[in-house]
Amino acid sequence: MSRTSPNIIITGTPGVGKTSHCELLAERTGLAHLSVNDVVKERECHEGWDDEYQSWIVDEDKLLDAIEPQLKPGGCILDWHACDLFPESWIDLVVVLRVETRVLYDRLTARNYPEKKLQENIDSEIMQVLLDEARESYDEQIVVELQSGTTEELEANVERIEAWVRQWREDRAKEE
């Protein structure tokens, strides 16, 4: 698949700051922010609602079919709490956001998460589940772990990813 702009995944446990990073990055780079949660909901890529977890039961095949046309030419920032389902050939960079347990606890409490979901997400962050998933699913050279505890870190992360996008575009232009 030849792309004129890169596709980036911003992933991590719910509450780490994916949406905040994606929105700022989209504004600064012109890449499109694709909230996978919204796609699942709006394009009905699910098999119903899980009441206990307060989330959709995702139909992964349907989801991939729904986003493929947008991913194909490149230029997308995928925002989701999972990353292993996206084909490696679609993706140029995987950013895994991380945060301290104490900070994550406060952020998820503010969202009124059900107790079970809150505890599972805290455990998932402690066990670095998303980082392992990213490292197992993609070439380690394209996986980056970044801290997202403070607004200074958010700003620095976005600047760093922006610089990476600029470089990617320059390298691609030289090849043509």
**Residues from 85 through 114 that contact ligand ADP (CB under 6 A):** 107
Exposure of 106 in the CB half-sphere (CA atoms within 13 A): 6
C-alpha–C-alpha distance, residues 99 and 153, integer Å: 10
Token output for 94: 């995987």
Closest CA to 128 of 12, 37, 4: 12
The whole-angstrom separation of Cα 77 and Cα 132 is 20
- CA geometry: angle 12, 144, 160, nearest 5 deg: 105
Q: Which of 59, 92, 145, 153 binds ligand ADP (CB under 6 A)?
A: 153
- Measured from the CB atom, the residue of 16 and 143 that comes closer to ligand ADP is 16
Q: Which of 154, 158, 161, 165 binds ligand ADP (CB under 6 A)?
A: 154
Stretch that binds ligand ADP, among 41-49, 65-73, 116-124, 147-155 (CB under 6 A): 147-155
Cβ 74 to ligand ADP, closest distance in Å? Answer: 22
Identity of the residue, 134 or 154, whose beta carbon is nearer to ligand ADP in the bound complex? 154
Residue ranges with strand state E in 14-160: 32-35, 46-50, 55-58, 76-79, 93-98, 143-147
Is position 17 an interface residue for ligand ADP (rule: CB under 6 A)? yes
Q: Does 16 bind ligand ADP (CB under 6 A)?
A: yes
Residue 33 found at the interface with ligand ADP (CB under 6 A): no
- Ligand-binding annotation for 98, yes or no, is no
Task: By CB under 6 A, name the binding residues for ligand ADP.
Answer: 12, 14-20, 107, 148, 150-151, 153-154
